[in-house]
């Protein structure tokens, strides 16, 4: 689960980390009040969406699609600037390289006090899957696209693995400060912040914390000027206060509903819907559709123990996508019996009056019974014995209707 | 033979009194697994009806291993307790008999709990953790065998192909593909699709290389992380037996989690194309389509003079 920068900053503030004063706003009036409250000097006016790349994004008018402003994060030097930027951002669509072409409507602003920046750094904490422990990454090339830095100058990124039984050691924190070229008061400030941030990461079950940029001010303090915070979904049960920060408008509505029904769904751009049990097999099904010249419309894993109701819900979700022109069901019955799936497929196609072509491949437990039930249903359901055959059939059927 | 789990391994079920625990324990008994009992805190002294046997329940793993000399345990406890269950099992096996295999089926374990559990397990010699979020491990026998997990037992047969996979149903697909060319399996292992897990591809490949029963290996990967690339490099250096593969997620979009917690292309890393390229470069022949795994395996067996 991801949260907005303004929420992350508040959590940082509560954890005693060094952040600038700032205020969350949802209107131009609030933004102006925030400017006044922050002392009426230089402020940053920052679009709040979950996707990254906001600074280099573009804002478009929600009604007519006209370009309104370049840059979703602006430095305002006056009250007029704040009013202008807030007006250009709120309610408009921000397109960044992470949002996709449709972009995201910006409903939230963060107005943050400025600071005198001497240098920008990059700082992140994540879990290193290969080493199976937390990893701190830092670089002197702050404010930049870190993936670009990683590709062009990998030696410019410093990495520290933190042994979970020891925690972050003082010498590691000081060593990292040294690598970043910090000294004196800046080192002390950095050590305090990285130690606090690491504790924050662990105690809140974060999946990732990225600060880009972290800055050193002219008076040698370290300030976390950004806060991209993601939490481990599996651990949210022990953080009810964090669950409250969820902004569901930032998530794909169909994916949210699928999740509530115990399904895992990701919308794609093609026209062949897929309904599969198991994540790996669901990905493989998409791949094979593509291999035979079709385009998958979605990833959908009904899980290992799906019942008739879940199968019906899954069909409903697939068919909501107007691009879908046909559906491939691919079930390897293990614990799940194929006869039950077959009955679920029939119930769902009848309940939803499915007219698009449907290819069903059932293998595994009770597959003969499942295929017999489908064959005797009198419905226009094509069956297949292998995934390749199923994919070829649905691609032909969908192609034939275009 | 097979790896890590013999056909007659004695197995305990952690969480045996829960719905999932009882259901799958019954299925394991039906397959022929020697389930010697289970553990649920505060339910010691009860028995659980597993169809043909009544399984005794203990409060703790130490008591259960002392009473049964179990070789392995399989975990079906809810996600929030899974990390602690792994650590309890590891300590109990170490204390009572010095070794043991722990198979964690549970899906949805917090990542930092797994970081702690894996750190703990890897600090002890003789303890092997498989999973979490995996179908388990199975060593088919002539009659029955040892199935420790949730896979459908009846699709397997004893044979000479090792199978390793990050995914559940895709593993079954791979097993069915070996059967389609009249080959059975030595051992099949689902290593799980979580970002942090116990046993990895290289552990399995290394054990299969040393296993007399195994002549070739099918390795099924998926997007996310770099485990497949590392395994490929290991194969190029160390493996004499043929390995064939498949990687799921060629069409997966970047930045989107595809069901499994670990199946995500992030920062441009972890793509299926990179993994297949690394595997092919290491001499691992990859199928484009899971329905072709059997054919690719057959060709590799023929090339190695095994068919």
Burial zone of A25 (CB within 10 Å; 0-12 exposed, 13-18 middle, 19+ buried): buried
Mind telling me how many Å the CA of A331 is from chain B's nearest CA?
Answer: 9
Residue A401 has pLDDT above 60, yes or no: no
- Reported as a single tens digit per residue, the pLDDT across A37-71 is 998 789 999 999 998 889 999 999 999 999 999 99
- Taking a C-beta distance cutoff of 8 angstroms, is the pair B157, B182 a contact? no
Q: Report, as residue numbers or ranges, the catalytic residues of A.
A: 122, 210
* Inter-residue contact B243 to B273 (CB < 8 Å): no
The predicted pLDDT at position A74 comes to 96
Task: Write down all domains in chain B, each with its CATH number in brackets.
Answer: 1-133 (3.40.50.720), 157-307 (3.40.50.261)
| pLDDT category of residue A279 using cuts at 50, 70 and 90 | very high
Question: pLDDT digit string (tens) for A21-32?
Answer: 999 999 999 999
Question: Does A332 lie at the interface with B, CB-CB under 8 angstroms?
Answer: yes
pLDDT of residue B5 exceeding 70: yes
Task: Give whole-number Cα distances, B288 to A361, A391, A396, B40, B246, in Å.
Answer: 19, 13, 19, 44, 7
Query: What confidence category does residue B135 fall into, taking pLDDT thresholds of 50, 70 and 90?
Result: very high
Whether the CB of B258 is below 8 Å from some CB of chain A: the reply is yes
Strand stretches in A232-325, DSSP E: 264-267, 272-276, 298-301
Tokens representing A207 are 């999946």
Task: Check if A135 contacts B (Cβ < 8 Å).
Answer: no
Q: Is the peptide bond before A290 cis (omega within 30 degrees of 0)?
A: no
DSSP A235: G
Would you list the DSSP string of B224-248? SSSHHHHHHHHHHHH--S-EEEEEE
Q: How far, in Å, CA of A129 to CA of B248, rounded?
A: 19
Kindly list the residues from chain A whose CB atom is less than 8 angstroms away from the CB atom of residue B259.
264, 278-280, 282-283, 299, 301
B261 touches chain A (CB under 8 A): yes
CA neighbor of B242 nearest in space, from B288, B178, B290: B178
Helix (H) or strand (E) holding A290: helix A279-291
Q: Which of chain A's residues have a Cβ under 8 Å away from the Cβ of B173?
A: 281, 284, 332, 387
- Mutation pick from A279, A386, A388 vs chain B, by most beta carbons of B within 10 Å, is A279
Q: Tell me the β-bridge partners of A75.
A: A44
Specify the pLDDT at position A333.
81
* B195 and A CB contact within 8 Å: yes
How confident is the model over B76-88, as a mean pLDDT?
97
- Average pLDDT along chain B: 95
Question: Does residue A10 have a cis peptide bond before it, meaning omega lies within 30 degrees of 0?
Answer: no
Residue B190 vs residues A288, A310, B130, B136: alpha-carbon distances, Å: 22, 25, 8, 5
CA-CA distance, B307 to B303, in Å (whole number)?
Answer: 8
Q: What are the chain B neighbours of A335 within 8 Å (beta carbons)?
A: 27, 150, 152
- Closest partner residue to B152 (CB to CB) among A150, A202, A365 is A365
Query: Which of A303-307, A309-313, B283-287 has the least mean pLDDT?
Result: A303-307
How far apart are the C-alpha atoms of B112 and A134, rounded to whole Å?
Answer: 9
Model pLDDT, residue B118: 97
Rounded distance between C-alpha atoms, residue B187 and residue B138, angstroms: 6
**Beta partners for residue B129, in sequence order:** B102
Residues of A in contact with B119 (CB under 8 A): 132-133, 163-165
Which of B121, B168, B222 to mutate to probe the A interface, most A CBs <10 Å?
Answer: B168
B68–chain A nearest CA distance, Å? 28
DSSP string, B124-177: STTEEEE-SSS-EEEEE-SSSEEEEESS-GGG--EEEEEEEES-SHHHHHHHHH
At A343-400, the pLDDT tens digits run: 889 988 888 888 899 999 998 888 889 999 998 988 889 999 999 999 999 999 998 5
CB B169 within 8 A of CB A334: yes
Q: How confident is the model at residue B287 (pLDDT cuts 50, 70, 90)?
A: very high
Among all chains, which residue has been given the structure tokens 């080959």?
B183
Considering only residues 110 to 129 of chain A, which have any Cβ-Cβ distance to chain B shorter than 8 Å?
Answer: 127, 129
pLDDT higher than 90, residue A330: yes
Give whichever of A301-310, B62-71, B260-269 has the largest mean pLDDT: B62-71
Residue B166 contacts A where some CB pair is shorter than 8 Å = yes
| Edge-to-edge order in the sheet of strand B185-190 | B145-149, B136-140, B185-190, B158-165, B216-222, B243-248, B285-286
Closest CA to B144 of B7, B247, B294, B5: B7
> Of A240 and A342, which is predicted with more confidence?
A240
Cβ-based contacts of B291 with chain A (< 8 Å)? 288, 386-389
Q: List all residues 6 or more positions away from A382 whose beta carbon is below 8 Å from its beta carbon.
A: A357, A358, A359, A360, A393, A394, A397
Taking the alpha carbons at both ends of chain B, their separation in whole angstroms is: 21
B2 pLDDT band, cuts 50/70/90, is confident
Q: Are B164 and B142 contacting, i.e. CB atoms less than 8 angstroms apart?
A: no
A402 pLDDT band, cuts 50/70/90, is very low
pLDDT at B1 over 90: no
- State whether residue A286 sits within 8 Å of chain B by CB: yes
- Percentage of chain B with pLDDT > 90? 90
Tell me the pTM.
Answer: 0.93
List the single residue in B115, B227, B292 with the smallest CB-CB distance to A164.
B115
Asked if B39 and B14 touch (Cβ cutoff 8 Å), the reply is: yes
CB A203 within 8 A of CB B112: no
Please give the C-alpha separations between residue B295 and each of A331, A357, B272, B292, in angstroms, as whole numbers.
21, 30, 21, 5
CA angle A250, A251, A255 (to 5 degrees): 170
Q: Which residue has the tokens 């194969």?
A: B235
Locate all alpha helices (DSSP H) within chain B, ordered by sequence.
Answer: 19-31, 61-68, 79-96, 111-122, 169-180, 201-210, 227-238, 272-281, 293-303
Distance CA A252, CA B248 (A): 24
- The answer to whether residues B284 and B237 touch, using CB atoms and an 8 Å cutoff, is no
Place of tokens 């259960």: B64
The residue-averaged pLDDT of A89-102 equals 91
Is A308 buried (19+), middle (13-18) or exposed (0-12) by CB count in 10 A? middle
Task: Determine the distance in angstroms separating the CA of A268 from the nearest CA of chain B, rounded to an integer.
Answer: 8
Predicted confidence band of residue A150 (pLDDT cuts 50, 70, 90):
confident
What are the residues whose beta carbons fall under 8 Å from the beta carbon of B147, sequence distance 6 or more?
B27, B28, B31, B32, B33, B136, B138, B140, B153, B156
- End-to-end CA distance of chain A, in Å? 39
Residue A375 · residue A341 · CB < 8 Å: no
Find which of A280, A289, A338, A395 to mutate to test the B interface (most B CBs within 10 Å of its CB): A280
Give how far the C-alpha of residue A19 lies from the chain's centroid of Cα atoms, to the nearest Å.
24
For residue B176, give the nearest of B143, B154, B160, B191 by alpha carbon.
B154
Beta pairing, strands A298-301 & A264-267: antiparallel
Check pLDDT > 70 for residue A264: yes
CB A369 within 8 A of CB A338: yes
Contact A290, A296 (CB under 8 A): yes
Of A266, A288, A335, the CB nearest to B289: A288
Residue B136 · residue B147 · CB < 8 Å: yes
Contact A157, B138 (CB under 8 A): no
Tokens of A264: 């895992």
Of A237, A222, A229, A247, the C-alpha closest to A12 is: A229
What pLDDT does A97 receive?
86
Average of per-residue pLDDT across A205-218: 95
Render pLDDT for B210-225 as a digit per residue (tens, 0 to 9): 999 999 999 999 999 9
Residues 288-307 on B with a CB inside 8 Å of A are: 288-292
User: Å from A232 to nearest chain B CA?
Assistant: 7
* pLDDT of the residue at B140: 97
pLDDT value at position A41? 87
All residues of chain B having their beta carbon less than 8 Å from the beta carbon of residue A364 are 152, 155, 172, 176
């Amino acid at each position: 689960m991801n949260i907005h920068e303004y929420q992350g900053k508040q959590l940082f503030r509560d954890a005693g980390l060094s952040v600038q004063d700032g205020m969350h706003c949802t209107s131009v009036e609030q933004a102006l009040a925030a400017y006044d409250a922050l002392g009426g000097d230089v402020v940053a006016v920052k679009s709040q969406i979950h996707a990254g790349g906001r600074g280099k994004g573009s804002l478009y008018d929600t009604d007519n699609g006209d370009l309104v402003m370049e840059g979703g994060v602006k430095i305002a030097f006056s009250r007029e600037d704040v009013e202008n930027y807030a007006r250009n951002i709120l309610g408009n669509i921000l397109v960044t390289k992470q949002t996709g072409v449709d972009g995201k409507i910006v409903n939230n602003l963060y107005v943050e006090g400025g600071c005198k920046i001497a240098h920008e750094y990059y700082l992140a904490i994540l879990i290193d899957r290969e080493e199976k422990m937390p990893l701190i990454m830092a670089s002197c090339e702050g404010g930049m696209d870190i993936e670009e830095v990683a590709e062009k100058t990998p030696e410019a990124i410093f990495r520290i693995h933190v042994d979970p039984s020891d925690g972050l050691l003082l010498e590691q924190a000081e060593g990292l400060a040294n690598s970043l070229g910090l000294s004196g008061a800046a080192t002390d400030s950095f050590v305090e912040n990285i130690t606090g941030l690491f504790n924050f990461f662990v105690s809140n079950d974060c999946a990732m914390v990225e600060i880009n940029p972290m800055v050193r001010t002219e008076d040698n303090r370290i300030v976390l000027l950004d806060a991209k915070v993601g939490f481990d979904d599996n651990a949210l049960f022990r953080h009810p206060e964090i669950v409250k920060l969820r902004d569901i408008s930032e998530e794909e509505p169909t994916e949210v509903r699928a999740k509530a029904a115990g399904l895992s769904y990701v919308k794609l751009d093609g026209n062949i819907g897929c309904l599969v049990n198991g994540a790996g097999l669901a990905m493989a099904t998409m791949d094979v559709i593509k291999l035979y010249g079709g385009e998958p419309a979605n990833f959908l894993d009904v899980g290992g123990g799906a019942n008739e109701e879940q199968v019906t819900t899954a069909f409903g979700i697939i068919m909501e996508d107007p691009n879908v022109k046909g559906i491939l069901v691919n079930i390897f019955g293990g614990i799940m019996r194929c006869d039950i799936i077959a009955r679920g497929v029939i119930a769902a196609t009848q309940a939803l009056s499915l007219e698009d072509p449907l290819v069903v491949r059932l293998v595994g437990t009770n597959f003969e019974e499942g295929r017999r039930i489908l064959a005797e249903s009198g419905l226009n359901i094509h069956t297949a014995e292998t995934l390749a055959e199923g994919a070829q059939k649905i691609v032909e059927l969908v192609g034939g209707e275009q | 033979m097979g790896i890590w789990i013999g056909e007659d391994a004695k197995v305990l079920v952690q969480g045996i009194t829960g719905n999932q625990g009882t259901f799958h324990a019954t299925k394991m008994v039906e397959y022929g697994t020697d389930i010697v009992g289970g553990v649920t805190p505060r339910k010691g002294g009860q028995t659980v009806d597993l169809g043909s046997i009544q399984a005794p329940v203990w409060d703790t793993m130490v008591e259960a291993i002392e009473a049964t000399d179990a070789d392995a345990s399989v975990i079906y406890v809810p996600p929030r307790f899974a990390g602690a269950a792994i650590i309890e099992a590891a300590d109990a096996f170490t204390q009572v008999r010095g070794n043991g295999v722990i198979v964690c089926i549970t899906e949805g374990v917090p990542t930092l709990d797994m970081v702690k559990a894996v750190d703990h397990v890897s600090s002890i010699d003789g303890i092997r953790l498989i999973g979490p979020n995996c179908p388990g491990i199975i060593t088919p026998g002539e009659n029955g065998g040892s199935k420790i997990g949730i896979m459908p037992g009846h699709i397997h047969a004893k044979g000479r192909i090792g199978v390793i996979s990050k995914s559940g149903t895709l593993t079954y697909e791979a097993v069915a593909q070996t059967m389609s060319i009249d080959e059975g399996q030595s051992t099949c292992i689902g290593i799980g699709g979580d970002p942090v897990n116990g046993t990895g591809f290289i552990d399995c490949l290394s054990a299969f290389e040393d296993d007399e029963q195994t002549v070739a290996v099918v390795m099924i990967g998926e997007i996310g992380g770099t485990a497949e690339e590392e395994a490929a490099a290991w194969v190029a250096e160390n493996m004499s037996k043929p390995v064939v593969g498949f990687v799921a997620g060629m069409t997966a979009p970047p930045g989107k989690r595809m069901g499994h917690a670990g199946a995500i292309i992030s920062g441009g890393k972890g793509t299926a194309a990179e993994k297949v390229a690394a595997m092919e470069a290491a001499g691992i022949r990859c199928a484009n389509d899971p329905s072709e795994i059997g054919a690719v395996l057959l060709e590799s067996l023929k090339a190695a003079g095994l068919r």
